[in-house]
Structure 1
Amino acid sequence: METDVLVIGAGPTGLMLAAELGLAGVRARVLERRAETSNLTRAFAVHARTLELLDARGLADQLLPRGIPVREIAPAPGATVDLGELDTRFPMILIAPQSGTERILERRVDELGVPIVRGAEVTGLRQDADRVVVDLADGSEESASWVVGCDGAHSAIRGLVDVPFTGAEYETHILLADVRLTDPPAEAMFAETGPSGAVIVVPFGDGWFRAIAWDREREQVPLDVPLPMDEMRDAFRRIAGTDFGMSEQRWSTRFLSERRQAARYRVGRVLLAGDAAHVHSPLGGQGMNTGIGDAMNLGWKLASAVRGTAPPWLVDTYATERHRVGAQVLALTDTFNNLVLGYSPVRQFLQRQAVRLIVRAGPARRLIVGRLSGIGISYPGGHGTHPWTGRRAPDVACGPQRLYEVLRDGRFVLVDATVAGALAGEIDASLPVTTVRARPTPQRPDAMLVRPDGYVAWAGDDESDIAARLRHGVARWCLGPARVG
């Protein structure tokens, strides 16, 4: 069977990418090493920007009932931030098990007709200017125009294209256990720190809880040593003063956290995304969110390349845009890790005092919350572009619909808030651009060309040459003739 794109890995990143490719009509296949669907949940936090991206494909409202909203966060002990400040439909962190998110994405992939092949382990890879061939453990091979490694921190694809994964390991192991609690905390997401480390409790919503501990007194225990419930109870009692009545444990493990990033996200026709491209401390809950952001950024660009409508530079913008975001996430999560688990009490004290002061200042607080939630992520617009170029597009009202509802077919959207409202006539009908009207407001440009992933590709204000500048912007991004009106 002819395949345009092979997606290696059926975690959240791979599934989101496969769904984007399927939406665009690309012939894609997902190869997953595991023979069975994993029931292991690592990620819980779904941040505001990820919910917006899911909303742009009609999936957020399916996930919301599966989770518990958290509307305040504490970036450091004693420093609380209200997420209600976020200008979004989703001013929250949604606590939803990764397994639930994966089920929604897998259903979407199935609806779009993208096959998932399980038990397919990649053992070799070779590529030329036109195709990539991967060898599988069973002796067979598959080929495609492009291959995307979404196969996790120990990515086989990253190793096969010889991309360095630079960084380091954190010293304190993470203890994970699924437990029942007879006296659970009142908070949707409980967290506590102490001289011995930190603990977190997250509800599954079905009577089970994920207990997480960074226990310095047990950090040298080898990862393959079983983790009994008594050890987790002891860590919670020393760090939080209570074990919340842990009464039953169905699963547990020790986990080594790392901070690493792939040196490159593209090698020829092979790309890396998700944990294959970046891993970091789980504090801040950024892993799955960053991977879904990778997939949304890459999907429409790769689809355009497959169709032959991509400008020569378009796929490379995935690597430049998302490598920068990955580096920012590593810096953010490393800061959180030092705040919570740093070994210098003096440095910890000074850092926490600094964070408390920062969250009291509006601009600095908004910067932190924007980075954590993903709402503040933007891409460089380039010299001479409008200040809004590369920014997240707000979910503006466009007649009877919201912008993120209009985005659901995966096309560009031109938001026209000019007085004349005649910009639709400047775009050739054959191009993948939907035009909608919006009310003008001083807070945003009079016209925005919004990419399929919800970022502004081009923006302009209502001046005499706006039509000509729009035609230039459309021609640059959509690689097609823009009709002169």
Structure 2
Amino acid sequence: MTETHRKPGTTLSPQTTPDLETADVIVVGAGPTGLLLAGDLAEAGLSVTLLERRPATLSNLTRALAVHARSLEQLDARGLADELVAGGHRLTSLGLFGSAVLAPAQLPTRFPFVLITPQFEVERLLERRARKAGVTFRYDSEVLGVDQDADGVTIRLRDGDGIGSAHASYVVGTDGARSTVRQAIGLPFPGKTIIRSMLLADVRLAQEPPSPFTVSASPDAFALIGSFGDGWYRVIGWNRHAQADDRAAVDFAEIREVARLALGTDYGMHDPRWISRFHSDERQAPQYRVGRVFLAGDAAHVHSPAGGQGMNVGLQDAANLSWKLAAVLKGHSPDTLLDSYQTERHPVGKTVLRSSGAMVRLALLRSAPGRALRGFLAQAVNHVRPLSRRAIGTVSGIAVSYPAERGAHPLTGHRAPDVRLADGSRLYELLRKGTFVLIAPAGDTAALGPAADRVLTASWASDRRTALLVRPDGYIAWATDATRPADRGAALRTALAHWTGAGIAPTAAPGSNSAVRQAS
């Protein structure tokens, strides 16, 4: 365990930059992924430095607009979802390609909708939480190199005072598609560009669209318009007959034209505050971990904007990695636990690349047979209920599950629903403590043993006899239907030893509490 001498909550301005002290974890990149990760680690009692190349000014320009159900559940487990939902638009249908429409209302979740809200609102809540937890923010800090050995990682950086360095036990690169961290550790970013000359603008509209999120396509163009909720709208479009290099200037007339081609109207667009041209890639790093350095979010994977999954996948990367880093740094788990980040999240990234890419390719089909195929698939998605459930489950993240060992209970690795508990609370309210949660039948007194300070206990509100051990990220680590107390207790002790390090002497982290309050 490394030491730190900085007081929690210190924020260093670009003008006054002393030598950096050692932190437990350095996170590079202050987007949603990095902010959630840093906040989780700091709330676990670890010292965290967050490096960001940009100046310390929250921009009102944004990329993402959609927050899906699984991300809202993760934010709920951090006490942030209700505030975010209150300021956004709930979308009860999501257009994909052709006439295909997904219905989030069928999702088994507290958040059966897509929340339309700008990315900067997500960042605002996550930054507030991270600061309160004691994360040290360093803006105007550019990473120049990354060196690691068996004891830790040293980052070479440039800030307002010149060139310096910082050291940590682990480093996580959440610094976007052009990740300096990824390049510094020698990881390739294989893939290809799937669509060029996409147009983006933030505009005012004279007429209000029929939905906060409006999307449509014609044989030669597609466009979407999303509301920020404050009178500004995000427009993204593509015109088959107006392809240009990313560096080519964009005329506002191009934006209006692509909207009219795809949507039939431009809704009286005026007063653009931001216009750009970009391309969309499909790329994924082959590994998310190299020694003591990890990648998450766009630094690990990028894909088309179809389905609005980008920011959401990054948030879920962070939720998967944060509790594992905390467990290892606090001595509760061996370093090998961190290998499961690659095992669990890399396949998810690959699935998102494939599904979002398929949506774009279907939307761009131009030939008569291609359009006929697209129409057939749209009808199937709309009317074949199992296919519809699978599609919305995949896009929303609700259907994501992780590999389980052979012979494990069928629930193992699956997302835990936000069940009501005997004391009237919800599971995701208990997860706000950042610990495992054991849900057992009322009256079950199986001993927790050495891991008692790492597990909250709760009872079903019903007479269900299944026992579940839920991970801090809301996935089921272990379950049993055994009814004999001896069998249940032995299986539970084995699971606790595997997941929470029972029998491993804990190492106190800087600022951490020695025990976690248990809930009955």
Bin of the TM-score, shorter chain as denominator length: over 0.9
- In structure 2, the CA distance between the partners of 1:441 and 1:227, relative to structure 1 (3 Å rule), is farther
- In structure 2, the CA distance between the partners of 1:271 and 1:179, relative to structure 1 (3 Å rule), is same
Q: 1:304 corresponds to which residue?
A: 327
Deviations 1:282-322 (A, max 9, x none): 01101100000000000010011111221342101011101
Deviations 1:345-392 (A, max 9, x none): 423431331232243222221111110111000001121111111100
What residue ranges of structure 1 are gaps of 5+ in the alignment?
none
Is the contact made by 1:311 and 1:477 (CA closer than 8 Å) also made in structure 2? Answer: no
Alignment of 1:333 onto 2:348: no
Alignment of 1:455 onto 2:478: no
Is the contact made by 1:396 and 1:402 (CA closer than 8 Å) also made in structure 2? Answer: yes
* Paired AA for residue 15 in structure 1: L
Q: 2:133 corresponds to which residue?
A: 112
Q: 1:365 corresponds to which residue?
A: 388
- SS in structure 2 at match of 1:145: strand
Q: Structure 2 matches for 1:24-43, cutoff 5 A?
A: 24-37=44-57, 38-43=59-64
Deviations 1:422-457 (A, max 9, x none): 23x344464300000113467xx7111000000000
Q: 1:439 corresponds to which residue?
A: 461
Aligned-pair CA distance for 1:409: 0.9
Is the contact made by 1:22 and 1:109 (CA closer than 8 Å) also made in structure 2? Answer: yes
1: CA distance between counterparts of 2:188 and 2:211? 41
Is the contact made by 1:386 and 1:459 (CA closer than 8 Å) also made in structure 2? Answer: yes
- SS in structure 1 at match of 2:155: strand
Q: 1:128 corresponds to which residue?
A: 149
Aligned-pair CA distance for 1:42: 0.2
- SS in structure 1 at match of 2:163: coil
Aligned residue among 427, 433, 448 for 1:403:
427
2: CA distance between counterparts of 1:298 and 1:352? 40
* Paired AA for residue 247 in structure 2: D
Aligned-pair CA distance for 1:421: 2.4
Q: 1:384 corresponds to which residue?
A: 407
Q: 1:480 corresponds to which residue?
A: 502
- SS in structure 1 at match of 2:134: coil
Aligned-pair CA distance for 1:186: 1.5
Alignment of 1:276 onto 2:299: yes
- SS in structure 1 at match of 2:195: coil
Alignment of 1:150 onto 2:174: yes
2: CA distance between counterparts of 1:341 and 1:441? 52
Greater mean deviation of Cα atoms: 457-466 or 260-269: 457-466
Aligned-pair CA distance for 1:218: 1.5
Aligned residue among 402, 416, 434 for 1:393:
416
Q: 2:11 corresponds to which residue?
A: none
* Paired AA for residue 2 in structure 1: T
Aligned residue among 159, 182, 187 for 2:211:
187
Percent same amino acid among aligned pairs?
A: 45
1: CA distance between counterparts of 2:66 and 2:266? 22
* Paired AA for residue 410 in structure 1: G
TM-score by length of 1: 0.95
Aligned-pair CA distance for 1:106: 0.5
1: CA distance between counterparts of 2:356 and 2:91? 19
Is the contact made by 1:431 and 1:480 (CA closer than 8 Å) also made in structure 2? Answer: no
Aligned residue among 199, 223, 231 for 1:175:
199
Deviations 1:192-243 (A, max 9, x none): 1001120000011111111110111112x12122222111111112222211
- In structure 2, the CA distance between the partners of 1:472 and 1:66, relative to structure 1 (3 Å rule), is same
TM-score by length of 2: 0.89
1: CA distance between counterparts of 2:365 and 2:336? 42
* Paired AA for residue 461 in structure 2: R
Is the contact made by 2:102 and 2:391 (CA closer than 8 Å) also made in structure 1? Answer: no
Alignment of 1:101 onto 2:125: no
Greater mean deviation of Cα atoms: 196-205 or 335-344: 335-344
- Equivalenced residue count is 477
Is the contact made by 1:281 and 1:333 (CA closer than 8 Å) also made in structure 2? Answer: yes
2: CA distance between counterparts of 1:89 and 1:396? 10
- In structure 2, the CA distance between the partners of 1:242 and 1:117, relative to structure 1 (3 Å rule), is same
1: CA distance between counterparts of 2:171 and 2:436? 25
Is the contact made by 2:102 and 2:381 (CA closer than 8 Å) also made in structure 1? Answer: no
What residue ranges of structure 2 are gaps of 5+ in the alignment?
1-20, 505-520
* Paired AA for residue 493 in structure 2: R
* Paired AA for residue 229 in structure 2: G
Greater mean deviation of Cα atoms: 56-65 or 271-280: 56-65
- SS in structure 1 at match of 2:403: coil
Greater mean deviation of Cα atoms: 346-355 or 92-101: 346-355
Aligned residue among 304, 311, 315 for 1:288:
311
2: CA distance between counterparts of 1:193 and 1:410? 44
Aligned-pair CA distance for 1:173: 2.1
Structure 1 stretches of 4+ with a deviation exceeding 4 A read: none
- SS in structure 2 at match of 1:140: strand
* Paired AA for residue 434 in structure 1: L
* Paired AA for residue 7 in structure 1: V
- SS in structure 2 at match of 1:199: strand
2: CA distance between counterparts of 1:2 and 1:73? 46
Q: 2:66 corresponds to which residue?
A: 45
* Paired AA for residue 109 in structure 1: A
2: CA distance between counterparts of 1:430 and 1:446? 20
* Paired AA for residue 92 in structure 1: F
Deviations 1:87-119 (A, max 9, x none): 110000000000111001000011001011000
When the two chains are superposed, the root-mean-square deviation of aligned CA atoms in Å is 1.5
Aligned-pair CA distance for 1:472: 0.5
2: CA distance between counterparts of 1:26 and 1:123? 25
Aligned residue among 74, 82, 88 for 2:103:
82
